[in-house]
Structure 1
Amino acid sequence: MNTDAVTEPVATAASGVARPTVAVLDYGSGNVHSVLRGLEHAGAAVSLTADAEQVLAADGLVVPGVGAYGSVMRALAASGGTRWIGRRVAGGRPVLGICVGHQVLFDAGVEHGERTEGMGEWPGVVEQLPADVLPHMGWSTVRPPEDSVLFRGVEDERFYFVHSYAVLDWEFDQTIAAMRPPQVTWAHHGADFVAAVENGPLSATQFHPEKSGEAGLRLLRNWVETL
């Protein structure tokens, strides 16, 4: 791990009120500085870390991700990230996935004919969008459920997407759900696709909230306030 990239968490805000601690998982996913800054603006005490103790102890864990599904999944597994994410979710400890960090939470991803098994937290396969123009790059509206916590106050705003792959079909068997079924937010580019999921302690967005201006910062603040 590049220790120069670590932002040490700050225990209290200027008001003296303790801030929630958020660990951003450092597994080599690329530039995460905008994620760190966005979470800090949202009121969290943030650290970029690959240390198991910090990852498991933080109030919230953010899993960023850029690049190919298969390479991200392999890097997560090699770093111990998949195990730590699973332990946090099993213990009801909040996790937020972003972009490919959202995608790997599903059953599998298929890119260039290669199928890679994902974490299987949610049903669905990440596949190429059936759109004339790829990647889907730019600002798009989303369709969140009425009682969404993540999108509270930004239901009608646009968010920034950069991707060519997404989950197009959601089939969740509510008859076997022990708790409230996940809340799914949709967007459209060539076809409808899953733009975000809220599922108890586990949430994720296909778009980049840290690059989505004031709307994205509000969404991050909504998540931090649940910690």
Structure 2
Amino acid sequence: MRENYNSLTFWENVISKNKTIRGHMFMQKPPTERSIYFHSLMFGDRNGINNIWGYFPNFQSIIGYIQYSFLQESFYRWIYGKERLVTKIPSLTVDKIIREGEKEKKINKDTAFNMRRDYEFVRSLWNLPSNRAEEELKKFVIDFNKKWMGDNREFIYFKIFWTAEELGEFVISSTLLTGTEEELEAKINMKIDEWKDICKCASTDPVKGEKFRKVLCKDLTEVF
């Protein structure tokens, strides 16, 4: 079945049917060789942190996720999370969320402009050849993270990995910035060498792929 990832209706249906974490909506099965991986953070001092590790079935699906789900959720939390606990994201377009935030004076014109520009940029990727779209998405993510690094009250972050092995190495390197190998091994319930092997084979070995999936969903992802 060919999914229409460039469709608001498609994503509204997927989100409404899946009560799981949004970034895990397509993680019922282990990754394949076409999968694209990501790490995202949404933080607000009134809403805690959403630290999500996951993957999507292909490049088109992750563009759709960013455009129709991630930007919707992260911008809504940015606009309204300063003053209250956000427990549910309304089924509104990104443009509608931005317009209402402006109207209610929750954000200024510069912030609204940046939000619209990010949304329009992601939307434009559908019109590009896949190889160029991939390069443009890499640039977008770098710019996005600089723009929304925020402060100690709130920030948004998104990173893409093209292989499970790349994600696995980042898990190790980012953990060792503030922790130890022993702490990481305790967190993922395995030795570092085993983790590296699982990541290397995640998209080709179903057994290791399932272990990889469970680590991302249960051990690395944190929402609190």
Scaled by the length of structure 2, the TM-score of the pair is 0.31
Which structure's residues are more often helix, by fraction? 2
Which structure's residues are more often strand, by fraction? 1
Choose 1 or 2 for highest CA Rg: 2
